[in-house]
Structure 1
Amino acid sequence: MTFEDLGLSPEVLKAVEEVGYTTPTPIQEKAIPVVLMGRDVLGCAQTGTGKTAGFTLPMIDILSSGRARARMPRSLIIAPTRELAAQVSENFELYGKYGKLSMALLIGGSSFVEQEQKLDRGVDVLIATPGRLIDLFERGKILLADVKILVIDEADRMLDMGFMPDVERIVGLLPKIRQTLFFSATMPPEIRRLADAFLMNPKAISVDPPASAAETVTQGLVKVKGAAKEKRAALRALAKSEDVKSALVFCNRKRDVDIVFRSMERHGFSVAALHGDMAQPVRMETLQSFKDAKVQFLVCSDVAARGLDIPAVSHVFNFDVPSNPEDYVHRIGRTGRAGRSGKAFTLALREEGKYLANVVRMLGMDIPEVTLEQDSGWEAGEAEEAKPGRSRRGSSRSGEGSRRGGSRRSGRRSQSNREETVASETVAEETAPSATPANDVAANAAAESPEEVVTLDAAVEPKPRPAARSKAREQKREPRRGKPKQESDSLAPGETAFGDHIPAFLLRPAKVA
């Protein structure tokens, strides 16, 4: 089947042909005719299958007739991230260049003035993230009473990021009679419940099983001994051993993105960083540099795991095993797109064994293990015993680690002593094999009286605390020394409880009536 068989207009077909596409993907083949009929659609397909073009192409044809009014968009597309919203707008510009549709992109980090000016002129297609859309609506800059088509893209990601209350509020502001297109890469029960609330008699389109990995992606697993330092070394070794054209490196936390970025940059890699705390202009510039092949490696958080269409990505490296197994599918879906082949490697420490087991259970298959030239791999049975949050170094040290810990926990030094001994602590740890509080006590005793050192044991028993006083004993306890006693008859004549100083107001003569 070709795009001509789907019933699209000649203008759209010409734009698609210029882009270079001739055969629609399965989700496009099934969704485009249904959208042109005006029915609601519940689409579920794995990432990288062309869901965005599945609703942008028919929307261009539907909206070609008619005219938008000021502040009243005719269609609304809600996306979870700024990057995905910007990509959807690029699709409309690409496929709708022979039409006369106006479009506005409402995302955070951009100028309010420019967005308000576009809304005042009237837009046919409004693409927005939930936060900025609600912000402008509350300012009175948008009226949603004329929306004919609503698209909710990457609905499962909306749920993960906590945007669903905002989406439900936005849907409540729209007309009841509308066409709704609901697309998601996975279909958990929560998404199914929301789809039932938003859609009216939808046409369900499911191309691939939910949460399934693309067959064009070759997966690999590298089990790393040690901690984060060894994992960074394994990442560099793996990147050098592979023929990498462009690659995404995913981390679970934003601070790890910066750490891995600096590590790769110090070792001479062409690398950039991308996460949600960066300013929007910097994020867009970084992403564009990666698309233009000016940067070979992009270290990022899950902000780049959904919906971004960068066909030239040859490799994906999961520096961290995702805590949510469905995120694994979205991450590796950034490669092997549009029929191309790609590779995805996951680096896992022993303590990440639980997360890795969840990914394997979701995929229904084991990830092939890859062995590097350096020392890697887990010992037998470690994957089953691994627990998240417990590091290998902390769990395996019983001798040397406890002795070093004892040295750090030894008696408190004075401020002057501490400043003098900071520089020699490292040498002391390496030269003293058993630096414990007991040894510190023995050293001090040796300095004063060498004869007493022989009587000291290897461990000094702490002095027991005195037993707590009973309540009755506390009541009978005499007052503390220095506590002011009450004035009594024992004072000498003329003596007061004020001592030598008597307030001036007491020296004034009293007026007697």
Structure 2
Amino acid sequence: MASQAARRGPQSVDEIIQKRKDEEAALAKPKFLSKKDRERIALEKLTKHREAKLQQHQQNGTFYGSTTTNGTSSTNSTPIPSAPRSMQQQRGDYSRNFKGSSRDAAKNPSPPSETENLDPEAKLLRERYMGIAEIRRQKRRRTASDRKFTFDWKTEDDTSSDYNPIYRGEVSASLGLKNTGEAEEKKKRALELQDILRKKKDTDWDSMHWSEKPLDKMKERDWRIFKEDFSVSTKGGSVPNPMRSWEESGLPPEILRAVEEVGYKEPSAIQRAAIPIALSCRDVIGVAETGSGKTASFVLPLLSYIIEMPVLNEVTKSDGPYAIILAPTRELAQQIETETRKFCNRLGFRCVSIVGGHTISEQSFALQEGAEIVIATPGRLVDCIERRVLVLSQCCYVIMDEADRMIDLGFEEQVNKILEALPVTNTKPDNDDAENPRLMSTYLGGKDRYRQTMMYTATMPPAIERIARQYLRRPATVIIGSAGQAVGTVEQRVEFVTTEEKRRRRMGEILNSGEFQAPVIVFVNIKKNCDMVARELNRIGWKAVILHGGKSQDQREAALKQLRDGEADALVATDLAGRGIDVPDVSLVLNFNMAKNIEDYTHRIGRTGRAGKSGIAMTFLSNDDQDTFYDLKQMLSKSALSKVPDELRRHEAAQAKFAARKTMQNIQ
């Protein structure tokens, strides 16, 4: 090395200057010192400082600590610390020299503390590198936040880019550059993000409303909420879920097209619940409020059933219809016929009504060409069967509308005769097989299928229960709202008007107020009052027609036609028009006389507020109507649109039902 340096020659000035700069730069760089290095450096500085102090005292003739007369240090002088406390105790602390028996303690008093004999500069050095003694003596508690975790994975171990496309590729700022390639890439990433969000949305169905879900995502909770929204309750085993729309109904395409042409937009509550049950070949008992669309709920499944049956020919048309529909009154039967024809004419089926008021020969002529559906009142249908005008040898579908009303009118015997005239070879078994749609939809041989029965009623008196037990097999029960309650779209108003003269005057004030437009319906209790009220209406400028049991069938039909066509402004009727009369856009139902019972009152006011529209029903009360006060008050209190007048609320007869009140009077 020396020979090489000799050959290179002496260093130049620039090399020396550069070397010095490198050394200064190296010294200027911060150095990381460990705890041991810091302790070692502090110990070296302290030792040098002590040696310099000791040298200074020796030169001045003094000693550090206590001294003797000859200038030497005493045996109990405080030694100079040569290391921090932790290091001193490892080597053996000098303070142990002072520990001993009490006799030694008396001869050798306790030495001064470590910091008493230190000068201020030494104390500051000690506190800087070893800390304050009081703080050192305090035991430091280790908290959970002091813990440091070391993860056993590295950044390059992240695998999220393998399964999440949002992390694929490197994102770069476009800086406002209009680059077609970058725009395409941005669009592609946006589409990928939408796809991710759509897939993620599939897992969030539980937080969505049933109306936003597809049918296959509906759960039991969603169906329960759906039924609560439409006030639907069902009973019976294996009841299928309701339909949410016509597209999900399961009806044949040709019937769905007819539904669209007729103008049915959304199914009503009874249609949503009853149609899926009837399409599964189950017997049905339906309890629904008046004006809720019951006719379509049994006509559409009936047409779906008939579509699968063989077409009537010259031979089979004389064997009778495939289905019969029973109604308690002529008006209701004709109303059902009108609604049924809307679909039959589009599907190529024939529908015939058999009601009183027409001759048997006229109805026999209508049946000569055969008919898939016969709509009849019980009395006239029994006459046709007994006179061999009609047979039911191939009837496999039976519908009884307003069954409780048929029993009230005394038609129980006729209904049983009609049901006994049906063939017994196609009755369903009275076991669990009656709830199996696949078994009940099979053919029994030839054209025969299991008989299906649907019954609609507002109440279930014992006679209806007997008929249901005898002729229905494991029926499913559908209840819409509360049985016997009025339609929720009708506002009910009640006024106390005592005399006939005051009622006529009040009726004129109401109709001439301009609040109500034609048509309106006025109900009375007896036939002779119809003529009196009609004369009063004509006097105040409202053209009125009359409908009651004393009119012929032609007169009834003519009155209803005038009202529907707008030729008449008002219809004055008895309870005969309380059921089955469907006149569009009736703005007011006026009970000139209160009905004898709450059921007839419910059906009366159901002539308005139909098909989801709103309506108003006004009732005149007097003390002669006390038997209905309690039920009327309960019905008004349950209606969201109606208010119970104070006079009715406080009336004594409205505090308890008539039967309970009569019993208490007998006891007293």
TM-score scaled to structure 1, two decimals?
A: 0.70
Q: CA deviation at 1:191?
A: 2.8
User: What SS does the aligned partner of 2:367 have?
Assistant: helix
Partner of 1:6: 249
Partner of 1:37: 280
Partner of 1:140: 388
1:405-444 mapped onto 2 (5 Å cutoff): none
Say whether 1:175 aligns with 2:423: yes
**1:69–1:121 Cα contact (<8 Å) kept:** yes
Q: Which amino acid aligns with 1:133?
A: L
Instruction: Give the 3 Å change call, closer, same or farther, for CA 96–380 of structure 1 in structure 2.
Output: closer
Q: 1:368 aligns with which of 643, 658, 666?
A: 643
| CA deviation string 1:144-183 (max 9, x = no partner) | 2211000000112112211122111211111231211001
**1:224–1:378 Cα contact (<8 Å) kept:** no
User: What SS does the aligned partner of 1:258 have?
Assistant: helix
**1:211–1:363 Cα contact (<8 Å) kept:** no
Partner of 1:74: 322
Q: 1:50 aligns with which of 268, 288, 293?
A: 293
**1:222–1:369 Cα contact (<8 Å) kept:** no
Q: What is the rounded CA distance, in whole Å, between the counterparts of 1:195 and 1:240 in structure 2?
A: 49
1:230-269 mapped onto 2 (5 Å cutoff): 230-241=502-513, 242-269=515-542
**2:352–2:366 Cα contact (<8 Å) kept:** yes
Q: CA deviation at 1:190?
A: 4.0
Partner of 1:204: 477
Q: CA deviation at 1:104?
A: 1.4
Partner of 1:221: 494
Q: Which has the higher helix share?
A: 2
Q: Which amino acid aligns with 1:22?
A: K
Q: CA deviation at 1:256?
A: 1.5
Instruction: Give the 3 Å change call, closer, same or farther, for CA 93–383 of structure 1 in structure 2.
Output: same
Instruction: Give the 3 Å change call, closer, same or farther, for CA 94–182 of structure 1 in structure 2.
Output: same
Q: Which amino acid aligns with 1:19?
A: V
Give the structure, 1 or 2, with the largest relative contact order (CA under 8 Å, sep 6 or more): 1
Partner of 1:278: 551
Say whether 1:125 aligns with 2:368: no
Q: CA deviation at 1:215?
A: 1.1
Q: 2:409 aligns with which of 161, 165, 183?
A: 161
**1:70–1:123 Cα contact (<8 Å) kept:** no
Q: What is the rounded CA distance, in whole Å, between the counterparts of 1:306 and 1:271 in structure 2?
A: 20
Partner of 1:114: 362
Q: What is the rounded CA distance, in whole Å, between the counterparts of 1:114 and 1:346 in structure 2?
A: 41
**1:221–1:345 Cα contact (<8 Å) kept:** yes
Say whether 1:61 aligns with 2:331: no
User: What SS does the aligned partner of 1:261 have?
Assistant: helix
Q: Which amino acid aligns with 2:456?
A: F
Q: CA deviation at 1:237?
A: 1.7
User: What SS does the aligned partner of 1:134 have?
Assistant: helix
Q: What is the rounded CA distance, in whole Å, between the counterparts of 1:4 and 1:382 in structure 2?
A: 53
Q: What is the rounded CA distance, in whole Å, between the counterparts of 2:299 and 2:352 in structure 1?
A: 14
Q: What is the rounded CA distance, in whole Å, between the counterparts of 1:384 and 1:338 in structure 2?
A: 32
Partner of 1:103: 351
Q: CA deviation at 1:46?
A: 0.5
Q: CA deviation at 1:263?
A: 2.0
Q: CA deviation at 1:48?
A: 0.7
Instruction: Give the 3 Å change call, closer, same or farther, for CA 229–123 of structure 1 in structure 2.
Output: same
Q: What is the rounded CA distance, in whole Å, between the counterparts of 2:629 and 2:355 in structure 1?
A: 35
Q: What is the rounded CA distance, in whole Å, between the counterparts of 1:71 and 1:312 in structure 2?
A: 41
Structure whose CA Rg is larger = 2
User: What SS does the aligned partner of 1:284 have?
Assistant: helix
- Is the deviation greater in 191-200 or in 172-181? 191-200
Q: 2:624 aligns with which of 347, 351, 367?
A: 351
Number of residues of Structure 1 aligned to a counterpart in Structure 2: 382
1:364-513 mapped onto 2 (5 Å cutoff): 365=638, 368=643
CA RMSD between the two structures = 2.5
User: What SS does the aligned partner of 1:12 have?
Assistant: helix
Q: 2:609 aligns with which of 292, 317, 336?
A: 336
Q: Which amino acid aligns with 2:485?
A: S
| CA deviation string 1:122-164 (max 9, x = no partner) | 2110111111111111111111221100000011211221112
Q: CA deviation at 1:185?
A: 2.7
Partner of 2:38: none
Q: What is the rounded CA distance, in whole Å, between the counterparts of 1:246 and 1:214 in structure 2?
A: 19
Q: Which amino acid aligns with 2:360?
A: F
Q: 1:325 aligns with which of 589, 598, 604?
A: 598
| CA deviation string 1:231-269 (max 9, x = no partner) | 222222222233233211111112222221122222322
- Is the deviation greater in 147-156 or in 58-67? 58-67
Identity across aligned pairs (percent)? 38
Q: What is the rounded CA distance, in whole Å, between the counterparts of 2:636 and 2:651 in structure 1?
A: 21
Q: Which amino acid aligns with 1:35?
A: A
Q: What is the rounded CA distance, in whole Å, between the counterparts of 1:288 and 1:192 in structure 2?
A: 37
User: What SS does the aligned partner of 1:299 have?
Assistant: strand
Q: Which amino acid aligns with 1:58?
A: P
Structure 1: which 5+ runs fail to align? 372-376, 389-513
Q: What is the rounded CA distance, in whole Å, between the counterparts of 1:320 and 1:165 in structure 2?
A: 32
User: What SS does the aligned partner of 1:165 have?
Assistant: helix
**1:30–1:205 Cα contact (<8 Å) kept:** yes
Partner of 1:311: 584
Partner of 1:192: 465
| CA deviation string 1:38-62 (max 9, x = no partner) | 1110011001111100011111121
Q: Which amino acid aligns with 1:355?
A: T
Q: CA deviation at 1:118?
A: 2.6
Q: CA deviation at 1:380?
A: 7.6
Q: What is the rounded CA distance, in whole Å, between the counterparts of 1:223 and 1:11 in structure 2?
A: 53
Partner of 1:25: 268
**1:109–1:281 Cα contact (<8 Å) kept:** yes
Q: What is the rounded CA distance, in whole Å, between the counterparts of 2:635 and 2:490 in structure 1?
A: 16
User: What SS does the aligned partner of 1:88 have?
Assistant: helix
Q: CA deviation at 1:384?
A: 6.6
Say whether 1:298 aligns with 2:571: yes
Instruction: Give the 3 Å change call, closer, same or farther, for CA 237–62 of structure 1 in structure 2.
Output: same
Partner of 1:491: none
Instruction: Give the 3 Å change call, closer, same or farther, for CA 141–245 of structure 1 in structure 2.
Output: same
User: What SS does the aligned partner of 1:93 have?
Assistant: helix
| CA deviation string 1:459-508 (max 9, x = no partner) | xxxxxxxxxxxxxxxxxxxxxxxxxxxxxxxxxxxxxxxxxxxxxxxxxx
**1:146–1:175 Cα contact (<8 Å) kept:** yes
Partner of 1:152: 400
**1:224–1:350 Cα contact (<8 Å) kept:** no
Q: What is the rounded CA distance, in whole Å, between the counterparts of 1:259 and 1:363 in structure 2?
A: 29
Q: What is the rounded CA distance, in whole Å, between the counterparts of 1:359 and 1:191 in structure 2?
A: 25
Q: Which amino acid aligns with 2:282?
A: R
Instruction: Give the 3 Å change call, closer, same or farther, for CA 301–139 of structure 1 in structure 2.
Output: same
**2:404–2:458 Cα contact (<8 Å) kept:** yes
Q: Which amino acid aligns with 1:11?
A: E
User: What SS does the aligned partner of 2:345 have?
Assistant: coil
**1:71–1:121 Cα contact (<8 Å) kept:** no
User: What SS does the aligned partner of 2:275 have?
Assistant: helix
Q: What is the rounded CA distance, in whole Å, between the counterparts of 1:157 and 1:244 in structure 2?
A: 31
User: What SS does the aligned partner of 1:219 have?
Assistant: strand
**2:324–2:374 Cα contact (<8 Å) kept:** yes
